[in-house]
Amino acid sequence: MKIKNKYNIGDYVWIGKDNPTCHKVEGLNVSIHSNYGIRIFYRLEGTPIDIIGFTEDECFLSKDECTQNKTYSAVKGTAIRLSNGFTRLCLIVIMILFYAPYLIIQIIYWIFTGREEPVTQHIMYKITDKLDI
């Protein structure tokens, strides 16, 4: 038996028609019942732990789809996922480009003095906190 799910772990989905919020999918719960058939529940980050999950009918790829009952085709859904992934990748590359010069300065300073350079070290700690490394 093959089970196809609409969203994957790590995808961001929107829930709530009146007050939509964006959450990251952190788990799947598949339920197979003789009367109800196959039901997939998505465990979302930031939602109460006592909720089993949200069904595919309650989750949407974008805020517009959530509030205006628009249904996107598989092609549009893939495009939204790629766009979100590309945006995250670009942000990571930009943060690395900011981080690399400070790291080079630290290495050069440490080679010649044997200790950390305080200004760049402070900036590196702030960048690391933003990246959650």
Q: Which residues of the chain register pLDDT less than 70?
A: 69-82, 84, 131-133
Task: Supply the pLDDT for residue 120.
Answer: 76
What pLDDT was estimated at residue 73?
55
pTM beyond 0.75: the answer is no
What angle is formed at CA 45 by the lines to CA 40 and CA 49, rounded to 5 degrees?
Answer: 75
pLDDT in the model for residue 55: 82
pLDDT of residue 72: 58
**CA nearest to 129, candidates 84, 97, 95, 94:** 95
**β-bridge mates for residue 24, sequence order:** 12
Q: Nearest Cα to 15, choosing from 38, 47, 52?
A: 47
Q: What is the pLDDT of residue 122?
A: 80
Q: Which amino acid is at 107?
A: I
